[in-house]
């Protein structure tokens, strides 16, 4: 009898140990709600007469009649225009004319995409009418009829990504009401990708308290800040030869795999800058006048960047200003629009007001905003972020873990990260574990990421070796899974997903698996770099930076970024 009682006690104790984990998984119940997707950069922009605007300079070259110009002709012409102004800047330390020449040469190429001084479209430009029609047509279809599950791609909200996120929130609210009426549900889930995060935030700020939104998921969003945009807008420049060499290797790798291929405009900027600076480098004039290439870069930066940002229209688009860090905002406003009492600042007063509105309601206190929507509005929040690529090595955040476009710390809502060439120290990891034993599972197997400091550590998935432009099925899978099931957590879920995943580049299908110590390695081009700085590598830094700026602009003008 004692043996039987002892055996029963062992069974009961065993059950008491495994029951919490089992119940957590069993609590994962399918909850059917329509899902509305807010894509990264909306859809192509069209003119009033129905003409699609060109992506970058693609439509300027080619067979466009007698007025057509070749790339070589444009490079030669622009270089010849800039050369005397560059000389004036170097000899007299006067850069206003150089900046004006840059603006005058490039602004006509982006004129139709640029917003006006109020942050409104010019020339009647609108988001693709076809995409808009399809968006509303699909809103009238019940994709969940006859027992079917809703998918993240069923309902896709179409919008002009250039505008202030608040310009769209009322129409998004009407769209949600339409979908709820079509499907018969009183709640929806929302998914946002890349630039769509700012629209999601603006909507939740204005309408989140109504209770129509049950869950949201953010994927690789720029709405918590974007180091490249913030550093460029606020004038933060630095140099690192080691990362420059690595970045060149990364570009070579990306070109081979189709990720982030160089575009016509990127090549144009590279060649023009090369031809205008090369003469002074060869003659040694830079060293005689400035003492170093770095000093010239700082002068060039102050003249070049604001001119490029405004010439391409980027500075006129409120949705890009969302990505400027709060600490950088005042500096950026002064650099791009001029001092507060200047004529330029007065000219763009209405646009600046739109920029400040989002700042006051969301970005001035991001942590407080997310607490409001999760704690006060009871909206459940999921996050997906990626890393494994380098940032541009000429901005202050050159050494952040990055997905090729967005920094991991920003996209993950606050993860603590090492640099691409380091790991978190053993002392740091031990300290985090001693503070709370549960933190042990928040350290990535490669020891580069601590997810315990994220705003939503229980519902944040992080994928390594996955580029921002990649569209692995795992992103769609996580989005559908999290938005459709209750009580989904990274450490207790019925699908076996761990918090840290890794994309297996050796697989032809880009298969994504749980990260382990054995499979957590990075790309080979991260293992070696040139340690000795050279003038050539410093010049390459500037050229690659310019290339990437234009690549970012044309990418966001061109690509439909999705899960």
The 10 Å CB-count burial string (b at 16+, else e) for 398-419 is bbbbbbbbbbbbbbbbbbbbbe
DSSP 211: S
DSSP 520: -
- What pLDDT was estimated at residue 517? 92
Q: Which residue has the tokens 């030669």?
A: 76
CB distance 112 to 123 below 8 Å: yes
Q: What is the mean pLDDT of residues 374-401?
A: 91
> DSSP labels for 35-73?
EEEE-SS-S-EE-TTSPBPPSTTTTTSSS--TT---HHH
Specify the pTM. Answer: 0.84
Beta bridge partners of 219: 193, 384
Q: Is the pLDDT of residue 551 over 90?
A: no
Distance of alpha carbon 555 from alpha carbon 254, whole angstroms? 14
Q: What is the mean pLDDT of residues 441-459?
A: 94
pLDDT top residue among 527 and 400: 400
CA quadruple 305, 310, 312, 313: dihedral sign? positive
Residue 40's pLDDT band (cuts 50, 70, 90): confident
Helix axes 293-311, 96-106, angle to 10 degrees: 40
- What pLDDT was estimated at residue 54? 62
pLDDT tens-digit map of 222-236: 999 999 889 888 888
Distance of alpha carbon 476 from alpha carbon 149, whole angstroms? 14
Closest CA to 268 of 61, 563, 47: 61
* Phi and psi at residue 10, to the nearest 5°: -60, -45
Task: Identify the three-state secondary structure at position 563.
Answer: coil
Q: Is the pLDDT of residue 26 over 60?
A: no
Closest CA to 194 of 42, 324, 326: 42
Distance of alpha carbon 549 from alpha carbon 42, whole angstroms? 20
- What pLDDT was estimated at residue 267? 46
pLDDT top residue among 416 and 300: 416
pLDDT tens-digit map of 109-120: 788 889 999 999
Distance of alpha carbon 74 from alpha carbon 315, whole angstroms? 24
Rounded-to-5 percentages of helix, strand, coil across the chain = 50, 10, 35
pLDDT tens-digit map of 41-87: 767 888 888 888 764 444 444 434 444 556 666 666 667 777 777 77
- CA dihedral 496→500→503→506, nearest 10 degrees, is -90
Distance of alpha carbon 197 from alpha carbon 194, whole angstroms? 6
Task: Identify the three-state secondary structure at position 407.
Answer: strand
pLDDT top residue among 452 and 58: 452
Q: Is the pLDDT of residue 11 over 80?
A: no
Which tokens in the block code for residue 91? 């000899």
SS (H, E, C) 195-209: CHHHHHHHHHHHHHH
Task: Identify the three-state secondary structure at position 220.
Answer: coil
- What pLDDT was estimated at residue 508? 52
Q: Is the pLDDT of residue 261 over 90?
A: no
> DSSP labels for 275-323?
HHHHHHHHHTHHHHHHSSHHHHHHHHHHHHHHHHHHHTTGGG-HHHHTT
Burial class (CB in 10 A: 0-12, 13-18, 19+), 294: middle
Residue 306's pLDDT band (cuts 50, 70, 90): confident
Which tokens in the block code for residue 331? 């500096």
Q: Is the pLDDT of residue 2 over 50?
A: no
Beta bridge partners of 191: 37, 217
Beta bridge partners of 461: 384
Chain centroid to CA 290: 36
- What pLDDT was estimated at residue 475? 93
């Amino acid at each position: 009898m004692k043996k039987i009682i002892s055996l029963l006690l062992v069974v009961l104790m065993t059950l008491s140990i495994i029951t919490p984990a089992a119940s957590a998984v069993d609590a994962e119940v399918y909850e059917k709600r329509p899902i509305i997707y807010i894509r990264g950069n909306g859809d192509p922009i069209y003119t009033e007469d129905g003409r699609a605007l060109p992506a970058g300079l693609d439509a300027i070259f080619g067979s466009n009649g007698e007025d057509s110009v070749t790339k070589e002709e444009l490079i030669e012409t622009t270089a010849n225009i800039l050369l005397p102004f560059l000389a004036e800047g170097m000899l007299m330390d006067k850069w206003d004319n150089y900046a004006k020449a840059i603006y005058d040469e490039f602004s006509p190429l982006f004129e139709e995409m640029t917003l006006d001084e109020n942050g409104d479209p010019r020339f009647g430009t609108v988001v693709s009418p076809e995409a808009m029609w399809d968006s509303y047509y699909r809103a009238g279809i019940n994709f969940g009829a006859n027992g079917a599950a809703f998918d993240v791609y069923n309902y896709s909200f179409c919008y002009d990504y250039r505008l202030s996120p608040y310009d769209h929130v009322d129409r998004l609210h009407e769209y949600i009401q339409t979908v709820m009426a079509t499907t018969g549900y009183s709640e929806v889930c929302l998914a946002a990708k890349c630039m769509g995060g700012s629209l999601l935030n603006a909507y939740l700020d204005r309408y989140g308290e109504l209770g129509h939104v049950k869950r949201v998921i953010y994927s690789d969003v720029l709405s918590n800040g974007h180091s490249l945009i913030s550093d460029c807008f606020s004038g933060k420049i630095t140099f690192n030869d080691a990362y420059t060499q690595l970045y060149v290797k990364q570009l070579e790798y990306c070109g081979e795999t189709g990720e982030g291929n160089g575009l016509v405009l990127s090549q144009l900027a590279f060649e023009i800058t090369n031809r205008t600076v090369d003469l002074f480098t060869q003659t040694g004039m830079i060293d005689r006048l400035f003492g170093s290439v770095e000093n010239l870069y700082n002068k060039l930066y102050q003249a070049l960047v604001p001119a490029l940002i405004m010439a391409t229209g980027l500075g006129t688009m409120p949705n890009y200003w969302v990505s400027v860090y709060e600490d950088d905002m005042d500096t950026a406003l002064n650099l791009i629009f001029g001092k507060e009492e200047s004529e330029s600042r007065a000219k763009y007063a209405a646009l600046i007001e739109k920029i400040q509105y989002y700042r006051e309601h969301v970005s001035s206190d991001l942590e407080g905003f997310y607490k409001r929507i999760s704690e006060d509005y009871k909206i459940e929040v999921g996050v997906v972020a990626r890393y494994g690529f380098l940032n541009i090595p000429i901005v202050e955040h050159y050494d952040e873990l990055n997905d090729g476009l967005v920094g991991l710390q920003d996209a993950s809502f606050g993860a603590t990260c090492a640099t691409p060439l380091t790991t978190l120290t053993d002392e740091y990891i031990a300290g985090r574990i001693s503070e709370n034993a549960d933190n042990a599972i928040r350290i990535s197997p490669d020891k580069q990421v601590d997810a315990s400091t994220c705003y939503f550590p229980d519902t944040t998935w992080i994928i390594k070796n996955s580029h921002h432009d990649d569209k692995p099925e795992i992103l769609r899978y996580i989005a559908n899974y999290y938005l459709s099931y209750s009580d989904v957590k990274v450490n207790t879920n019925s699908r076996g997903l761990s918090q840290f995943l890794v994309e297996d580049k050796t697989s032809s299908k880009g298969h994504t698996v749980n990260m382990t110590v054995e499979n957590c390695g990075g790309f080979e081009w991260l293992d070696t770099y040139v340690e000795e700085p050279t003038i050539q590598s410093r010049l390459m830094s500037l050229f690659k930076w310019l290339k990437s700026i234009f690549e970012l602009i044309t990418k966001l003008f061109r690509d439909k970024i999705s899960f």
